[in-house]
Structure 1
Amino acid sequence: MDIRVRPVTLETRHAFAALLDEAGAWQRARGGEAWASRFDDAWMLPRIARGELFLVHLGPVPVATFHILWHDRPCWGDREVGDSLYLHTFAVRRDKAGLGVGRAAIETVVGLGRERGRDKVRLDCFLSSARLIAYYARNGFASVGTTSVNGRALNLMERII
């Protein structure tokens, strides 16, 4: 399987947004919580410039997204001490689920953290998303607490690198 991770560019930003919109619609259709923000140019362009957004390709087709941060005080508060890489807006196209795309993306993020001397990869997800929490647990993450951001309950997870 030919899985490649590439930074989002101005030319590929619409594929990034479309994948996240699709994932959010799928979550809402199942009665779950999804991202509240729109992934428009105002949100994407500064993050593209900082090299934070990525597309995962299966062959030539973009099939997953993720966003990395080197600091995340809004979610992690005093636990954020500069030793972690933070994974956000991670989504895999539903018709590609189960093919190892998500695992490959997570391993890429772990590798980025290792390269930058970070000790952990951290993420947050909706506390109500039991299946997603279980998915991350199968990929080496452990729940380490909860928090609330903008009135939404989040599960905090981390994986030691």
Structure 2
Amino acid sequence: MLAVLDDAAGRLAARGIAQWPARFEAEWITDALRRGETWLVGVDGDTAGTVTLDRSDPLWADTGGAAGYVHRMAVRRTAAGLGAVVLDWAADTVRQQGAQALRLDCVRSNSRLRAYYESRGFVHRGDAAVGRAPGQRGVEGPATWVSRYERVLNP
């Protein structure tokens, strides 16, 4: 999983997008693994992607309704198109758990990713500043502006 995340982080950095740190630390994902919220996606026996599907996100504390939250979604370049499958799976999974929406965010400056999310049915729900390094959450450190997106789920 760390290799998939690091690969994606490297591609983002090469495009000048500071979404994630250059390398992910294992302790950043350990709790989500322990809670059973992180998934690996395989294609033909190879690990092609990963996603964490959380039940809450403080970034959305001002928004009501039951929702699932996509974090740390990454797909290897060799599995182009898999992102749409992962997002649909995440939507179906949280819908079955009673959620009314699937939510996610990305750095505001990543216009390509923002356009992709909008093409997948997500609606921009405003921007917010988060602290610490990109890809981590906290209230300390330099602020990074992120754009919040929501996809309302049909029952």
TM tier, smaller: 0.7 to 0.9
Asked if the contact 1:71–1:82 (Cα under 8 Å) also holds between the matched residues in 2, the reply is no
Asked if the contact 1:70–1:82 (Cα under 8 Å) also holds between the matched residues in 2, the reply is no
1:26 aligns to what?
11
Q: Work out the CA distance in 1 between the residues paired with 2:22 and 2:11.
A: 15
2:60 aligns to what?
76
Cα deviations across residues 44-98 of structure 1 (Å, max 9, x unaligned)?
A: 322111001111111211111111110101x12321x35110001111112322x
1:57 aligns with 2:42: yes
* Between structures 1 and 2, the one with greater helix share: 1
Consecutive aligned runs of 4 or more in structure 1 exceeding 4 Å deviation:
none
Q: Work out the CA distance in 1 between the residues paired with 2:116 and 2:26.
A: 30
Q: Work out the CA distance in 1 between the residues paired with 2:82 and 2:106.
A: 19
Q: Work out the CA distance in 1 between the residues paired with 2:116 and 2:6.
A: 20
1:37 CA displacement: 7.9
C-alpha change, 1:125 and 1:43, in structure 2 (3 Å) is: same
Q: Work out the CA distance in 1 between the residues paired with 2:96 and 2:18.
A: 33
1:40 aligns with 2:38: no
Q: Which runs of 5+ in 1 are unaligned?
A: 1-15
1:111 aligns with 2:92: yes
1:147 CA displacement: 0.3
1:114 CA displacement: 0.8
Q: Work out the CA distance in 2 between the residues paired with 1:21 and 1:37.
A: 7
2:144 aligns to what?
152
Question: Aligned pair count?
Answer: 142
Give the alignment's TM-score, normalised by structure 1: 0.83
C-alpha change, 1:37 and 1:119, in structure 2 (3 Å) is: farther
